[in-house]
Each structure stands twice: as C-alpha cells, then as structure tokens.
C-alpha cells in the first residue's frame, strides 16, 4: 500500500508525512531506511499519521524534569490510536536558571520549534510545555507552522509546605527575602523553606506565569479540558497526556489545524480568563506574540476592554491564599470558564482540540470548594484583569495588575527616584542616604526588550530597607521591565516605548512628579513638552549590550512590549509546505 502526497485517504486530506515516507524511489529509501534503525516495522510508513512529540525536557529546566515520562504517556496514546510517534527535543527555557533572562530566548526557542516542525515528516504535533517561557515559545513556533497541534502542560508542583504553612513559588521567596532583610527570619529558616517550596516536579504552583500560561492554553482551546491545574505528580496528568496522544491522531484525520483553534474568539476567551484567574502580566506579552504569529490583530486595548467587566474568581497566591493543587481539587479552570460562560462572558462556540466548542466542554463543570473558586456574584476580588495605562510617560502603553496592587496607591502622585540601570538600583536602593520616602515613585530604566536585553523580571524593585523597617510594604514602581507572575505590588510594567528605544521613560529625572491614576488608565509625567524635547535632544542612547550573536539579532529586531516583543521578521506564519527534498 502506498500513498503519495496528493492521494486522498478515504476522502481525507493526504498526509503531509507521505511526501517523505510514501515515496517508492531513492528518496523514499532515504526517508524510511534510516528510521528503521530503531526497529520500526514497514507499516509505520504506510499512511499512519506521524505525530511529533515536541519535548522541552532538560535538567537545566527543573520544572520540566518529568517530561521524559510525560512524553512516554503521549507516545502510548499515539500508538493506541494507530499513529506513529516521534519525540524530538527543542530548546528548553528554565526561568530560574537562565541569564540574563529566559525571556531573551523565547523567540529563539520559537524559531527552533517552528523550523523543527516544518523540516520534519510530521502530520501533527503534541507540545509538552511547562516552565513560563516554554509555553509561549512552543505555541508561537507551532502557530507559524500551523499543523494540527495539541498542548499538554507539565502541571504545577505539589503545594509548598514549610513548618505547617502553605508557601507559594516565587511569592514566598519575595516575602521571605524581605523578612530576611528586615531581620524577621534567620538564614537557617530561609534555607529550610527552600526545600519545602520545591518538593515535586512541575511548574511554580502559585498563579504565576507558568500556571497562567497553562490556563491560557486551556482557555484558548489548545488543550484538553483540565490541562491547567492537574498537578505534575498526579496520575491524571499522565492520563491527560495519553488522551492527548490519542486525540492528536484524530485531529490529523480531521485536519484540525492550529489556526482553526486560535481564532479571535479564542483569544478573547483567554483574555477574560486571564482576568478571572488574576493571572500574570506576562500573559499580555505572550498572547500578543502568539496572536501575531497566527494573524490575529490583538492589541493592548483588547486586554483592558475585555477584562474590565470580569471579576477575579480564584483565591490563589500571589493575590490570594491558595495554590494550584487546591485549584485542581476545587474543579480547576473548567469551573472558572463555566462562571464566565454563564454570564455571557465566554464565546461558547469557540472550537477546541477535543472537537467540541468550549461552552459545551464546561457547561456542567462543578465547583467543590467555593473558598478557592468564588462565584461571580461574590468574587474574591471585584477588580480584576490587566489595566492598560497610557500617557506622556507611556505613549504606547504600560500595564498594571490591579488585583496585586495596593488600593491606596491606585491614584497617587509622587516624586520620582530614578535608577538608570538595574545595577544602579541595586547599588543605591538600600543606601541609608538615598533621598526617598514611602510617597516617592521608583523609576527603573533600560530593562525593556532591547535594554536588558530580554525584558527581565526586575520591575518589582525591592522596597528600600530603611522604608521596610518603617513598615512600608508597597510603593509605586515604574519600569520598562516585566515582573514575575508570582510577584505583587503597585508595579507599572512594560512601559512602551522602552527607555533604550528612546521612549519618554528615558528622560525622567529625579524629582519629577509622576501621577498614576489607574481608574483613569493614565500615567503622567509632570514635565512640559518643551522641557521633554530639550532632554530628548541632549540624550545619548546607551551602548548596546551585544556586538554579535543571537543577542545582537534580538536587539536589532525585537518589537516593543505592546507588540509582544517578538522579532519583527518572525511575525506571521509560513505554514508547513516544504517542497524540496534534501538529496
Ligand atoms: Fe519554572 Fe516557575 S520557575 S515554572
Ligand atoms: Mg518568571
């Protein structure tokens, strides 16, 4: 039995992989023979859907340490359904291991994924995604290739526990390091807590960026239901992987490509979900980038507009009390989606990878703990979503997460205390002579996409030690950086254009007055146009951080945060056709 690449299979679209394996010539010999060295029977090549299992396993990314086992479950699922699974590695991005920031490499990994999918004889792809940046990187790359694609997240870690108390990834690192600096805990306590926080495989178990992005995967319809919250260590995560392996084979037969899932309604569902889960600000940059790949015209304004009438329903750290494991036991993301759906805030007919519309998937979702997932009528926090600020300090926008901010600082005018670099900030922030008080506005420059480079998670600057001792726990902080999804505070992020690109942020000086007014969605620098123009003329742009290599390519081509910080030449999709043989 043979197929060549334009022979229909019982009326179904011909398999892309048959352009490799269906050949009865010199090239067919090449393409099949080398794969037979793993003992593959010849019928593997005779018209079975070939499924790539795109694996981000790496010991340098501890959050994805269980992905070799997870890939095996996907493999069994593909075999169950009559497909031919082929696992392949792509760059893995360890959020806490990579310098200067994993975000610098998100676009590089996305290129790796896109080209690996395009170059190989694949009909469909399963994306194994975990730690923060692997999720957007894999979705971006897969979107540009646009094969049938299903996402499987690695799942969150078990709850962090330290001396009987729940401790959350990132969130409690930040609070404990503040307590350490304030002399409230000892170094020994600190070390003990480190082991209690990370006690299983999986992603950060707060509603940080990894859990937010896993929730986005589910809300976008790219995964099977319940993908967001099943803990990494729970056997039901393995089951989800196996069922995803089975399902991708059917998706190939249905020609259910990623662009049929990633529609505008899907992105709108994701944005509303982002608000309802009090998700990470990083999702804004990532969703913009994914949308850019698939050709959906998403803007910052969409986040503000769509998130505004949504309440935050989940009482999870960093905004609340509980952790992802609790979220799963309470019913997980389907409950949140159902709450949105019941109030007309979900596009119910958005398609999902299981072949059913999202509204149908969640219509009977039951909640088992109303403390963890609150009803829409009595929300955990009424103020949700991401507020988009504009003004003369951020002409192309900036973001703030109101649910993580202090109510009393949401409308605040203060004197700027400016740091010209992250090093300058670290050097000065604990100086007892620093001229700063609780009413000041901390401003950090040159930490954006081009400036850091890679837009590091340094926007939640530490509160000066002398103010910590006075009991100050939050201040208005403004930068072109991002912040960890596990962080909190009245922190204005993603200021665009960034300082290094000559945005007005570059021209703020010590003593300038700045007004943050979240209700009015405004960020205003009280310096008149003429003075700003004078400062702009006198400005000397900083020397770029890289002369060669990927970092130079990145600095030269990265788009600003309001456009997803993708590389300009990566926006859009090429699709999967590759007509030329390799020999
Ligand atoms: Fe990997 Fe948080 S560091 S998910
Ligand atoms: Mg992070």
Name the residue of 105, 210, 456 to mutate for ligand 1: max ligand atoms within 8 A of Cβ: 210
What homologous superfamily does CATH list for 387-546+553-561?
Answer: IlvD/EDD C-terminal domain-like (3.50.30.80)
**CA neighbor of 573 nearest in space, from 14, 140, 109, 268:** 140
**Which residue in 212, 236, 209, 206 sits closest to 224, CA to CA?**
236
The helix (H) or strand (E) run that includes residue 423 is: helix 422-428
What's the mean pLDDT in 193-209? 93
Q: Where do we find the tokens 């913009």?
A: 288
| Equal CATH topology for 48-158+200-362 and 387-546+553-561 | no
Sign of CA dihedral 390, 562, 97, 161: positive
Q: What is the pLDDT of residue 3?
A: 41
pLDDT at 22 over 70: yes
Percent of the chain with pLDDT over 90: 90
Distance from the CA of 140 to the center of ligand 1, in angstroms?
A: 19
Cα distance between residue 303 and residue 308, in whole Å:
8
| pLDDT bucket at 176, cuts 50 / 70 / 90 | confident
* C-alpha 12 – ligand 1 centre gap (Å): 41
Q: What does the domain layout of the chain look like in residue ranges? A: 48-158+200-362, 161-197, 387-546+553-561
Q: Over the stretch 162-174, which tens digit does the pLDDT of each residue have?
A: 989 889 988 888 8
461's tokens: 């600057």
Residue 571 pLDDT > 80:
yes
Identify the three-state secondary structure at position 12.
Answer: strand
How far is the centre of ligand 2, averaged over its atoms, from the C-alpha of 132 (Å)?
A: 6
DSSP assignment letter at 159:
P
Average pLDDT in the 195-216 region? Answer: 95
Q: What is the pLDDT of residue 44?
A: 96
Q: Which fold has domain 48-158+200-362?
A: Rossmann fold (3.40.50)
Distance 32 CA to ligand 2 centre (A): 42
Give the ligand at the shortest distance from the Cα of 484: 2
Please report the pLDDT score of residue 175 as a whole number. Answer: 82
Which pLDDT score, from 0 to 100, does residue 172 have?
Answer: 82
| pLDDT at residue 546, rounded to an integer | 95
Note the pLDDT of residue 300: 98
Query: What's the 494 CA to ligand 1 centre distance in angstroms?
Result: 20
348 C-alpha vs ligand 1 centroid, how far in Å? 31
Mutate to test the pocket of ligand 1, among 61, 95, 172, 487 (most ligand atoms within 8 A of CB): 95
- Bridge-based pairing of strands 149-153 and 491-492 is unpaired
- Is the pLDDT at 361 greater than 50? The verdict is yes
- Cα-Cα-Cα-Cα dihedral sign, residues 45, 3, 81, 226: positive
Under a CB-based contact definition with an 8 Å cutoff, are residues 485 and 525 in contact? no
Closest C-alpha among 299, 289, 293 to residue 106? 289
Which ranges of 431-528 would DSSP assign to H, the alpha helix? 465-469
pLDDT band at 177 (very low <50, low <70, confident <90, very high): confident
Q: Indicate which atom in ligand 1 lies nearest the CA of residue 486.
A: 2
Q: What is the average per-residue pLDDT within 305-330?
A: 95
Of the pLDDT bands very low, low, confident and very high (cuts 50, 70, 90), residue 2 is very low
Q: How far apart are CA 263 and CA 433, in angstroms?
A: 54
Nearest CA to ligand 1 atom 3: 95
The protein residue whose alpha carbon is closest to atom 2 in ligand 1 is 204
List of E strands, 489-567: 491-492, 513-517, 522-525
DSSP alpha helices (H): ranges in 224-299?
235-254, 258-261, 264-276, 282-294
The shares of helix, strand and coil residues in the chain, as percent rounded to the nearest 5, are 40, 15, 45
Q: What are 101-150's pLDDT values in tens digits? A: 999 999 999 999 999 999 999 999 999 999 999 999 999 999 999 999 99
CB neighbour class for 427 (10 Å; exposed up to 12, middle 13-18, buried from 19): exposed
Task: Give the pLDDT score at 171.
Answer: 80
Instruction: Name all residues whose Cβ lies below 6 A of ligand 1.
Output: 63, 95-96, 131-132, 169, 203-204, 208, 210
- The model's confidence at residue 11, banded by pLDDT at 50, 70 and 90, is confident
Residue found by looking up tokens 């963890």 in the block: 372
Does residue 4 surpass a pLDDT of 60?
no
The band of 8, judged by pLDDT with boundaries at 50, 70 and 90, is low
Q: Would you state the pLDDT for residue 385?
A: 82
For ligand 1, atom 1, which residue shows the shortest CA distance?
131
Is the pLDDT at 36 greater than 70? The verdict is yes
| Residues 197-206, mean pLDDT to the nearest whole number | 94
pLDDT higher at 149 or 4: 149
DSSP strand E in 73-198: where?
84-89, 124-129, 149-153, 160-162, 165-167
How far is Cα 578 from Cα 120, in angstroms, rounded to an integer? 9
pLDDT at site 169: 87
- Tell me the β-bridge partners of 493: 399
CA nearest neighbour of 516 among 382, 404, 407: 407
C-beta separation of 101 from 455 below 8 A: yes
CA distance linking residue 403 with residue 380, whole number of Å: 10
Of the given ranges (21-30, 79-88, 170-179), which has the lowest mean pLDDT?
A: 170-179
Q: What is the pTM assigned to this prediction?
A: 0.96
Structure ipTM: 0.94
Span 226-252, pLDDT tens digits:
999 999 999 999 999 999 999 999 999
Give the span between the Cα atoms of 561 and 542, in whole angstroms: 19
- Looking at every residue in the chain, the average pLDDT score rounds to 95
Q: Is 535 helix (H, G, I), strand (E, B) or coil?
A: helix
Q: What is the pLDDT of residues 422-469, one digit of tens each?
A: 999 999 999 999 999 999 999 999 999 999 999 999 999 999 999 999
Which whole-number Å values give the CA distances from 58 to 13, 94, 382, in the listed order? 36, 8, 40
57, 60, 64, 67 alpha-carbon torsion, rounded to 10°: 30
Q: What is the CA radius of gyration of the chain?
A: 24
From residue 269, give the alpha-carbon distance in Å to each of 151, 217, 337, 348, 351: 17, 11, 9, 9, 11
Query: Ligand 1 pocket check: which of 61, 131, 156, 324 to mutate, most ligand atoms within 8 Å of Cβ?
Result: 131
Comparison of pLDDT for 29 and 404, the residue scoring more: 29
What letter does residue 546 receive in the DSSP assignment?
-
């Amino acid at each position: 039995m043979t197929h060549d690449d334009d022979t229909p299979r019982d009326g179904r679209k011909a398999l892309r992989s048959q352009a490799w394996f269906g050949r009865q010539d010199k090239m067919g010999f090449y393409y099949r023979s080398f794969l037979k060295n793993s003992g593959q029977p010849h019928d593997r090549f005779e018209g079975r859907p070939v499924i790539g299992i795109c694996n981000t396993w790496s010991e340098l990314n501890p959050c994805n340490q269980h992905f070799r086992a997870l890939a095996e479950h996907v493999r069994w699922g593909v075999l169950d359904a009559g497909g031919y699974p082929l696992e392949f590695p792509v760059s893995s991005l360890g959020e806490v291991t990579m310098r200067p920031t994993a975000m610098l490499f998100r676009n590089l990994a996305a290129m790796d994924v896109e080209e690996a999918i395009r170059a190989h004889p694949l009909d469909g792809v399963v994306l194994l995604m975990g730690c923060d940046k692997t999720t957007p990187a894999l979705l971006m790359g897969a979107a540009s290739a646009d094969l049938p694609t299903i996402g499987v997240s690695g799942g969150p870690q078990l709850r962090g526990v330290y001396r009987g108390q729940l401790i959350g990834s990132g969130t409690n690192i930040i609070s404990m390091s503040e307590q350490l600096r304030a002399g409230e805990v000892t170094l020994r306590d600190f070390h003990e807590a480190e082991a209690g926080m990370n006690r299983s495989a999986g992603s950060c178990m707060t509603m940080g960026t990894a859990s937010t992005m896993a929730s986005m995967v589910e809300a976008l319809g790219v995964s099977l239901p319940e993908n967001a919250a099943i803990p990494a260590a729970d056997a039901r995560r393995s089951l989800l992987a196996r069922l995803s392996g089975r399902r991708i084979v059917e998706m190939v037969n249905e020609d259910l490509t990623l662009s049929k899932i990633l529609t505008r309604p899907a992105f709108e569902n994701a944005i509303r979900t982002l608000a309802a889960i009090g998700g990470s600000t990083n999702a804004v940059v990532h969703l913009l980038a994914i949308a850019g790949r698939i050709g959906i015209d998403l803007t910052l304004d969409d986040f503000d507009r769509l998130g505004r009438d949504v309440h935050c329903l989940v009482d999870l750290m960093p905004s609340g009390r509980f952790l992802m494991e609790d979220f799963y036991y309470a019913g997980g993301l389907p409950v949140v989606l159902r709450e949105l759906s019941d109030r007309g805030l979900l596009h119910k007919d958005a398609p999902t990878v299981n072949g059913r519309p999202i509204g149908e998937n969640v219509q009977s979702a039951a909640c088992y703990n109303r403390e963890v997932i609150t009803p829409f009528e009595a929300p955990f926090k009424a103020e949700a979503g991401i507020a988009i600020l504009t003004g003369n300090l951020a002409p192309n926008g900036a973001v703030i997460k109101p649910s993580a901010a202090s109510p009393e600082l949401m409308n605040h005018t203060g004197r700027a205390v400016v740091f010209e670099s992250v090093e300058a900030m670290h050097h000065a922030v604990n100086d007892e002579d620093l001229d700063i008080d609780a009413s000041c506005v901390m401003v950090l420059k040159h930490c954006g996409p081009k400036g850091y480079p890679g837009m590091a998670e340094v926007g939640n600057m530490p509160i000066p030690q002398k103010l910590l001792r006075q009991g100050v726990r939050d201040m208005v902080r403004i930068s072109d950086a991002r912040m960890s999804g596990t962080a909190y505070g009245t922190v204005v992020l993603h200021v665009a254009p960034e300082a290094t690109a000559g945005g007005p942020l570059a021209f703020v000086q010590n003593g300038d007055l700045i007004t943050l007014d979240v209700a009015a969605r405004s960020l205003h620098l009280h310096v008149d146009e003429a003075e700003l123009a004078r400062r702009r003329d006198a400005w000397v742009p900083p020397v770029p951080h890289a002369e060669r290599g990927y970092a130079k390519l990145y600095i030269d081509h990265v788009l600003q945060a309001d456009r997803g910080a993708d590389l300009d030449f990566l926006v859009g999709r090429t699709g999967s056709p590759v007509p030329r043989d390799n020999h």
